[in-house]
Amino acid sequence: MPTRALTAVAVARIKLPKQGQADHFDKGFPGLALRCSYGGARTWVYVFRLHGRLRRMTFGRYPSMSLAQAREAWRDARTLISRGEDPTRARPAVVDTFAAVTLDWLKRDQANNRSADEVRRAIERDVMPVWRDRLVSTITRRDVIELIDAVADRGAVAMARQLHTYLHRLFRWSVGRGILAANPMVDLPKVGAAVKRDRVLTDDELRTVWNAADEMGWPFGPVTKLLIFTGARRDEIGALRWPEIVDGEIRLTGARTKNGEPHNIPLARVAMDIIATLPHIAGSDFVFTTTGRTPVSGWSKAKTMLDARVRIPAWRVHDLRRTCATGLQRLGVGLQVIEAVLGHVSGSRAGVVGIYQRHSFDAEKRAALEAWGQEVGRIVRGA
C-alpha cells in the first residue's frame, strides 16, 4: 500500500491500476486513502479502528471531493472516534456543502422572511459561484473577507454589507444546528459605511419618469404610475390582486406588508382610472402578471428600460415612495397622516403612542392621496 504526502497535483496524476483496486494513503493523515479502481472510480476512503475492530468508511468521490475536503472529513471522523463514536453514523459530508446548508437555511430560517427572495438571489449571484461545493466547515474567516471585499471592490458596497448580514445569520444558524463548531464571522466588521438614501425626484424628474412609463406600456408602465400615486412599496403593487381592490382602496393583509400589519391604501380617482384600463388575465387574481400564475418579475430589466428613457442620475424605484411622502409634506399633510399613508409603525406612531393611538386616519389618508393625485397631474402637465 503506497504511502506519501499527497498534493492536489499528485492526486490528479495518480494512474488507475490495470486490474482490481489500489489504495494511495496520505502520509500524515493515518488511514486516509484515495482508492483507485480498474473501472475508473477514484474514491476517498478512511480505514480506522473503533472498539478493537478494523473499519472502513467512504467520504466521497474524487474530483467532486478535493484533497482538502477529504482531509477535513478525515479530521471530523477522527474527532468522533476519539469520543468513541462511530463516524459512519454521523451526518454525511455531502449534506454539509455550502449549497446544501444554504438551501436548508432558506427553508427553515428564512421561510417567513419577507425578503427571502432577495436573500436567495444575492447569495446565488455572489456566493454560490465561489462556495457552492465547499464543505461549509472549511470556510474560514479569511474566505469570508475575500468574498465580501470582492463585492465591495466592484463598487457594490451596499450589497457587500447586505451579504455580511445574510452570511453572518447563516453561519450563526449553522452553529445552532450543530453543523459548525463556531461562526467564522464573529466580531467581523462590515465594509464601508451604511448609505442613507434620501433621493427625492424633482418635478421635472417625476414628469420624465411618468412619460417613460407611458412609453413602456404593460405591465411596468401602469405599475410605475400606481407607485407614484400611492407611495406604496414595489412588491405591494407588483403583486397586487384584484380581490385586494375594494371600495376604491387597496386592502393589504399583514402577510403582504413589510411590518406584518394590515394596511389600506386609498386610491385617488386618477389611480382608479388607470386600474379601470388594465386587462384581466383569465383565471388569475393577479393584477400585473404575464403568466397568470405569478406576479410580474424582472424589476431589474424594467428599471434598465426606464433608465434608457429618463437618464436620471442615481435614482431607484423606491425613490418614488420617498417622493410621494415629500410631496404630501409639501401639500401641508401632517406627519402622522403621511406615516399612515406609507404604512409606517415607527416614527411618531412608535412605542406608547402606537399602542394607545389606534385611529386609522382613513379619511385623512384618502384626502391626502387625492390631493397628491391632483398634484401629480399638475406636474405631469407641466403647469
Q: pLDDT tens for residues 199-209?
A: 999 999 999 99
**Cα(308)–Cα(162) distance, rounded to whole angstroms?**
27
Residues 6+ apart with CB under 8 A from 13: none
Domain boundary among 90, 115, 132: 90
- Mean pLDDT across 15-24: 90
Q: What is the pLDDT of residues 239-294, one digit of tens each?
A: 999 999 999 999 999 888 877 889 999 999 999 999 999 999 888 999 999 889 99
Domain that holds residue 23: 3-90
- Mean pLDDT, the chain, as a whole number? 88
210 with 341, same domain: the answer is yes
Q: Is the pLDDT of residue 2 over 80?
A: no
Residue 347 in this model has a pLDDT that exceeds 70? no
Do 360 and 211 fall within a single domain? Answer: yes
Same domain, 223 and 340: yes
> Predicted confidence band at 319 (pLDDT cuts at 50, 70, 90)?
very high
Q: What is the mean pLDDT of residues 166-180?
A: 92
Distances (CA, A) of 317 to 77, 125, 240: 51, 21, 17
How confident is residue 138, by pLDDT bands cut at 50, 70 and 90? confident
Tell whether 344 is covered by a domain: yes
Tell me if 227 is assigned to some domain.
yes
How confident is residue 186, by pLDDT bands cut at 50, 70 and 90? very high
- 274 and 367 both lie in a single domain: yes
13 and 105 in one domain? no
- Domains identified in the chain, total number: 3
Q: Indicate whether 187 belongs to any domain.
A: no
pLDDT for 90 equals 67
How far CA 88 is from CA of 69, 92, 93, 190, in Å, comes to 17, 8, 11, 39
Residue 193 lies in a domain: no
- Whether 166 and 42 share a structural domain: no
Report the run of H or E that residue 8 belongs to, with start and end: helix 8-13
Q: DSSP assignment of 114-150, as one string?
A: TTHHHHHHHHHHHTHHHHTTSBGGG--HHHHHHHHHH
- How many CB atoms neighbour CB 97 within 10 A? 21
* CATH number, position 279: 1.10.443.10
DSSP 55-73: EEEEEEETTTS-HHHHHHH
- Whether residues 57 and 83 fall in one domain: yes
**Mean pLDDT to the nearest integer, 91-116:** 82
Shared domain for 301 and 254, answered yes or no, is: yes
Strands 3-4 and 21-26: parallel
Same domain, residue pair 296 and 213: yes
Q: Which of 90, 112, 140 is the last residue of a domain?
A: 90
**Taking 50 as the threshold, does the pLDDT of residue 189 lie above it?**
yes
* Pairwise CA distance, residues 57 & 87, whole Å: 8
Per the listing, cell 492536489 goes with 8
Q: Is the domain of 54 the same as that of 78?
A: yes
Same domain, 232 and 356: yes
**In-domain check, residue 185:** no
Residue with cell 391626502: 368
How confident is the model over 38-76, as pLDDT tens digits?
888 889 999 999 888 899 888 888 887 889 989 988 998
Give the 3-state DSSP-derived string for 264-318, with helices as H, strands as E and coil as C: EEECCHHHHHHHHCCCCCCCCCECCCCCCCCCCCCHHHHHHHHHHHHCCCCCCCC
- Within a domain: residue 81? yes
For residue 43, the domain's CATH number is 3.30.160.390
Helix (H) or strand (E) holding 239: none
Q: Is the pLDDT of residue 230 over 80?
A: yes
Closest CA to 237 of 345, 344, 320: 320
Rounded to the nearest 5 degrees, what angle is found at the Cα of 113, between the Cα atoms of 110 and 116? 70
Give Cα separations from 294 to 39, 103, 205, 281, 287 (angstroms). Answer: 48, 22, 31, 11, 10
pLDDT band (50, 70, 90) for residue 155: confident
Does residue 353 surpass a pLDDT of 50?
no
Confidence of residue 102 (pLDDT cuts 50, 70, 90): very high
Could you tell me how many residues make up the chain? 383
Split at pLDDT 50, 70, 90, the class of 351 is: very low
CATH number for 111: 1.10.150
Residue 195 located in a structural domain: no
Let me know if residue 181 belongs to a domain: no
Q: Does pTM surpass 0.75?
A: no
One domain for residues 101 and 145: yes
Final residue before a domain boundary, out of 75, 90, 105: 90
Query: What single letter denotes the amino acid at residue 121?
Result: R
